[in-house]
A and B are shown apart, each in its own frame.
Chain A
Amino acid sequence: MSVLRPTTIDEAVAVLSAQPEAIPIAGGTDLMVHWPHRLELHEKTFVDLSRLTALRGLRWQDGDLVMGALTTYWDVLLDEQIGRRFPLLHRAARQVGAVQIQTRGTWAGNVGNGSPAADGVAVLMAYDAMVELTSVRGVDVVPLRDFYTGYKISHRTPDQLITAIRLPGIPYRTQIFEKVGARKAQAISKIGVAMVEAPGGWVVVANSMAPTIRRCRAVEAVLNSGHPISSPEALHDTILQDVHPIDDLRSTGEYRVRVMARLLYHDLREHIAAFS
């Protein structure tokens, strides 16, 4: 194993361009899990991002929130303005692992890891985040909602570094994030749903419900249509147009669909007149 420790973005992207198989590492809260057992990773080259001071911190730009790639959950929790403008970032951050994970885990790492269970990705996608990808070839900005193409497959090419995540400063009305885990803290989502009412209509994002985190367009259409919904069960078919949850160690596909329907139904009842 070897480690490269660049101090500037230029150096970092040059390294990735020269050695596309090298693995960027930020907080390590995905990459280091069960580290002693992950012998295949011990053969790799890592690019340590922790010295890239340019990627630290978050700022407001033209009303948008721009988070450098090293922004952690804890950084976000300390920022009160985020709590007012994008409350779901706080809601999700508080529920990612526990404090020891929040202080190390980065939003960009959550995006980069591409787990279908990622809570950060769910709320970022609900807020229509844009992912800034930098390489020696230049800067690409990709909407997060189009970022994933398959299980742990994304538009990021191996030579690209995620350098920032940008959230457009749109005003939202209802904003809800529900995370269902096997316990109240330190749990990986069995189901997650982020629901926001944007000027253009409802945005619903589900995690742990499909091979990738995704927008639930069929559900959104129903919410936007004003069609009456009489029970949670009435949402099952719509949900299944959007996602295909599986049985795994953490839960069952059936539970996931039914509970997602129940969360939508009960949580939105107060906000959507057609839900009776």
Chain B
Amino acid sequence: MTPPTSDVALGFLLNGSSVSVTCAPEDRLLDLLRGPLRLPGTKEGCGEGECGACTVLLNGLPVNSCLVPSYQADGATVETIEALADERHAALLEGGATQCGACTPGVAMTAEWIRRHPALGKRFPLSELMAGNLCRCTGYDGILKSLEAALTDDEGTA
């Protein structure tokens, strides 16, 4: 067991590369990403787990990084929006999934998770799977339709 300490040393796999950082135990994963790790693609829209703008994949699952204490990322795999290749965004771009863009990285990460597990889209309505990503601009249709299109494309190329 690690002794009590005010600073925490962490190591984890971030977007495919291992990183080690020391941070204050008060830092949220979101703070770590946007601050010392210089990955400002992940946004803070509320800090209370409601909006999903801070969504990242933690061990492959979508989570709100504003609710993850940084020390819980120790030993984990973390993927942020910066990890996705531009080609991955084609369907969302074409379908009008982004307007102001503030919700968009979070939306794209949840969409990415669904695309990696296409069976999910058959078990749950996409509107339910995306309900943790608030968007004030699009009315969601652009997001849901383009995600549907992406899933169809993926099926064709799989």
Contact flag (A, B; Cβ within 8 A): yes
Cα(A184)–Cα(B50), bound, Å: 14
Whether A169 is near chain B, meaning CB under 8 Å from some CB there, is no
**Contact residues of B between 54 and 112, Cβ < 8 Å to A:** 55, 58, 61-64, 66-69, 71-72, 74, 110
Q: Is the CB of B131 within 8 A of A186?
A: yes
Chain A residue with minimal CB distance to B120? A99
Q: A74-B61, A99-B110 are in contact. Are A33 and B132 (CB under 8 A)?
A: no
Which of B5, B26, B64 is A100 in contact with, Cβ under 8 Å?
B64
Contact across chains for B4 and A45 when beta carbons are under 8 A apart? yes
Q: Say yes or no: A100 contacts B47, CB within 8 Å.
A: no
Name the residue of chain A whose CB is nearest to the CB of B3: A4
Interface flag for A265 (CB, 8 Å)? no
- Asked whether, in the complex, the Cβ of B1 is within 8 Å of the Cβ of A2, the reply is no
Q: Which residues 122-158 in B have Cβ within 8 Å of A in the complex?
A: 124, 128-129, 131-134
Most buried by B among A2, A97, A98: A98
Contacts of A249 in B (CB 8 A): none
Tell me, in angstroms, the Cα distance from A2 to B52 when the chains sit together: 27
Asked if B6 is at the interface (CB within 8 A of a chain A CB), the reply is yes
- In Å, the complex CA distance between A64 and B71 comes to 34
Comparing A34-42, A118-126, A172-180, A189-197, the segment that makes contact with chain B is: A34-42
Query: How many whole Å from B119's CB to the nearest CB in chain A?
Result: 11
Known: A2-B6, A29-B67. A36 touches B25 (CB 8 A): no
**Is B2 among interface residues, defined by CB-CB distance under 8 A?**
yes
Alpha-carbon gap, A184 to B81, bound state (A): 27
A residues contacting the other copy or chain, number (CB 8 A): 36
Chain A 183-208, CB within 8 Å of chain B: the 1/0 string?
01110000000000000000000000
Q: Are B47 and A1 in contact (CB under 8 A)?
A: no
Which residues of A have CB within 8 Å of B71? 3, 5, 48
Residue of A nearest to B59 (CB): A103
Complex CA–CA separation, A46 to B55 (angstroms): 24
- Asked if B129 and A1 sit within 8 Å, CB to CB, the answer is no
Indicate which residue in B28, B49, B129, B134 contacts A97 across the interface (CB closer than 8 Å). B49
A45 to B4, CA, bound (A): 8
Q: How far is the CB of A101 from chain B (nearest CB, A)?
A: 6
- Determine if A3 and B8 form an interchain contact, defined as CB atoms under 8 angstroms apart: yes
Q: Is the CB of B50 within 8 A of A104?
A: no
From A4, A33, A104, B48 is in contact (CB under 8 Å) with: A33
Contacts of A29 in B (CB 8 A): 49, 67
A2 and B4 within 8 A (CB): yes
A186 touches B129 (CB 8 A): no
Q: A32 touches which one: B8, B68, B124, B132 (CB < 8 A)?
A: B68
Which chain B residue has the least Cβ–Cβ distance from A39? B26
Distance of A50 Cα from B2 Cα, bound (Å): 13
Structural contact, B72 and A1, CB atoms closer than 8 A: no
Cβ of A232 within 8 Å of any chain B Cβ, yes or no, is no
Across the A-B interface, the 8 shortest Cβ-Cβ residue pairs: A98-B132, A185-B131, A32-B67, A103-B61, A2-B4, A100-B132, A98-B131, A100-B64
Residues of A within 8 A of B (CB): 1-7, 11, 15, 25, 27-29, 32-37, 42, 45-46, 48, 50, 74, 94, 97-101, 103-104, 184-186
Some 19 contacts from A to B, beta carbons below 8 A apart, are: A1-B6, A2-B4, A3-B4, A3-B25, A4-B2, A5-B74, A29-B67, A35-B67, A48-B72, A74-B61, A94-B124, A99-B62, A99-B131, A99-B132, A101-B132, A103-B61, A103-B63, A184-B131, A186-B132
Seed contacts A94-B124, A185-B132; 8 additional CB < 8 Å A-B pairs: A4-B4, A6-B1, A27-B67, A35-B67, A103-B62, A104-B64, A104-B68, A186-B50
